[in-house]
Amino acid sequence: MSDLTSCVLTPKVSSKGFDPLGVAVHRGSTIAFEDAAAYAARGDRGDSGYSYGLYGTPTTRTLEAKLNLLEGASRSFLLPSGQAANALAVLPFLSGGDHILLADTVYPPMRDLAQNDLVRMGVAVDFFDPTDLDDLKSRMRPQTRIIWCESPGSTTMEIMDIPAAAEIAHANGALLGVDNTWATPLNLKPLSLGADLVTEALTKYVAGHSDVLMGSISVSRTDLAARIKATMGRMGIGASPDDAALVLRGFETLGVRLRHSEAVATRFAERLADHPLIRRVLFPALPSSPGHALFKRDFLGASGVFTLTFPETVAPHVTPALDALKLFVIGASWGGTRSLVAPMPVAANRSATAWAEPDIALRISVGLEDEAELWDDLQRFLDALDQSVAKVRAG
């Protein structure tokens, strides 16, 4: 064999006896077939077989298998981001003339997708109050194909009655989809509560280190899986094995990270609830929160993300006072090791419900830093807030 060919053909070495605990990263577009007949029959390899890198590698299938287990799903799919998972969870099931209902508190890009792309496809789009099942029922139409939920709602943390929504959907021949990013598959199992489709932004808690984007769709039934798989293939959407390996690595510590963030966030939420500069702490794990009874019934725990609202006189000072923070990072997303804050507009993302509070809510994600130092940092922010409110008052 000439050197040129030797450069191209890579010798196979045995991996026998090498049994690491981590999952190998299998990169590949082309899959080699043993003969022409095997190539011709590649379509018969089924869901667990391999035919082309886009449709799955041992690395991505390993992550999908872990998701199947934790979600109680018949099949899971990986996508390049959480929002890609949301989009691909609904697109295969909608055609012109159909109707979709979305909770008013869904992740804002999902609202945008519905109002722009779905409307352009001729799909009728409607939003409902996630805390009012009668409102949901009254908006159902014979053409309703999907009810799309997120519980707790993005930023404002409303808890939905998912089993009841599933009943309403199924009585009308519609599917129930749930974006489960806040809870993760450890704290809520939407498929076991009657949902047909569940999405996760694995980017957040599951990957857990703010260094990778990935999403998943898990489904209850194989016929739904077939529709999603076909649409993903036609759109050419798959996930990188390198990214899947990072998510698998993060997954191993999800349980302890989540329990820690929940415990610290709960203590912070309790202490902040009485603060004179804060109007409400939106966190379903607080017994005083409106959705707490449903939360206790359906969830196995909370995550470390909660939201603060402020009185009218305080709200305008919140964003500048964030500059007093030294440990919390100001930035989008959450669920990583670093604690984050993000000022969030609410009113612009609501249409079926009224937002009666000042329009800056502060989302807080508790990470893994020392609890006392984080609390000191929050105090720095609250002191700065207090000073700028007092300055105005002194006029």
Ligand X SMILES: *Cc1c(COP(=O)(O)O)cnc(C)c1O
Query: What per-residue string of b and e applies to 193-213 under the rule 16 or more CB within 10 Å gives b?
Result: bbbbbbbbbbbbbbbbebebb
Nearer to ligand X, 155 or 266 (CB): 155
Rule CB under 6 A: say whether 150 interacts with ligand X. Answer: yes
Among 131, 144, 154, 307, binds ligand X (CB under 6 A): 154
* H or E, element range at 389: helix 371-394
Query: Which of 77, 93, 107, 127 lies at the binding interface for ligand X (CB under 6 A)?
Result: 107
Which amino acid is residue 26, in one-letter code? H
Residues 6+ apart with CB under 8 A from 216: 63, 64, 67, 76, 77, 78, 79, 85, 199, 200, 202
Which residues between 352 and 381 bind ligand X (CB under 6 A)? Answer: none
Q: Give me the residue whose beta carbon is nearest to ligand X.
A: 82
Under the binding rule (CB under 6 A), the answer on residue 112 touching ligand X is: no
The count of chain residues that interact with ligand X, using the rule CB under 6 A, is: 15
CA atoms within 13 A on the CB side of 111: 17
Question: Which residues have a Cβ under 8 Å from the Cβ of 49 and sit 6 or more positions away?
Answer: 42
Binding residue (CB under 6 A) for ligand X from 59, 60, 155, 203:
203
Nearer to ligand X, 198 or 314 (CB): 198
In the complex with ligand X, the residue whose CB is nearer, 82 or 277, is 82
Region from 25-33, 163-171, 198-206, 239-247 binding ligand X, contact rule CB under 6 A: 198-206
- Per-residue exposure over 18-36, b if at least 16 CB sit within 10 Å of its own CB, e if not: eeeeebebbeeeeeeeeee
Q: Tell me which of 59, 181, 216, 339 binds ligand X, using CB under 6 A.
A: 181
Nearby residues of 394 by Cβ (< 8 Å), 6 or more positions away = none
* Residue (174 or 201) nearer to ligand X, CB: 201
Our finding on whether 188 is near ligand X (CB under 6 A) is no
82 binds ligand X (CB under 6 A): yes
How far is CA 240 from each of CA 212, 364, 386, rounded to the nearest angstrom?
A: 10, 30, 47
Report the candidate in 102, 124, 123 with the shortest Cα–Cα distance to residue 111: 102
β-partners of residue 144 are: 99
Tell me the closest approach of the beta carbon of residue 188 to ligand X, in angstroms: 12
Residue 81 makes contact with ligand X by CB under 6 A: yes
Q: Is 79 in the site for ligand X (CB under 6 A)?
A: no
> What is the CB-side half-sphere exposure of residue 293 using CA atoms within 13 A?
3
179 binds ligand X, rule: CB under 6 A: yes
Distance CA 137, CA 49 (A): 42
60 binds ligand X (CB under 6 A): no
Cβ closer to ligand X: 81 or 172? 81
151 binds ligand X (CB under 6 A): no
Exactly one of 215, 238, 250, 336 binds ligand X (CB under 6 A); that residue is 215
Instruction: Considering the complex, state which of residue 59 and residue 203 has its C-beta at the smaller distance from ligand X.
Output: 203
Q: Residue 307, class by beta-carbon neighbours within 10 Å (0-12 exposed, 13-18 middle, 19+ buried)?
A: buried
- Please, which residue, 213 or 325, has the CB nearer to ligand X? 213
Exposure of 370 in the CB half-sphere (CA atoms within 13 A): 4
Where residue 236 falls (left for φ over 0; alpha for ψ -120 to 50; beta otherwise) is left
- Phi, psi (rounded to 5 degrees) for 22: -75, 165
Where in 311-350 is the site for ligand X (CB under 6 A)? 333
User: What is each CA distance from 23 to 228, 232, 259, 292, in whole angstroms?
Assistant: 26, 25, 25, 39
* Segment near ligand X (CB under 6 A); pick from 62-70, 77-85, 138-146, 322-330: 77-85
83 sits near ligand X (criterion: CB under 6 A):
yes
* 148 contacts 136 by C-beta, under 8 angstroms: no
CB nearer to ligand X: pick between 174 and 198: 198
Region from 82-90, 219-227, 290-298, 340-348 binding ligand X, contact rule CB under 6 A: 82-90
Q: Which stretch binds ligand X (CB under 6 A): 156-164, 197-205, 272-280, 283-291?
A: 197-205
Determine if 213 is a binding residue for ligand X (CB under 6 A): yes
| Chain residues that interact with ligand X, rule: CB under 6 A | 81-83, 86, 107, 150, 154, 179, 181, 201, 203-204, 213, 215, 333
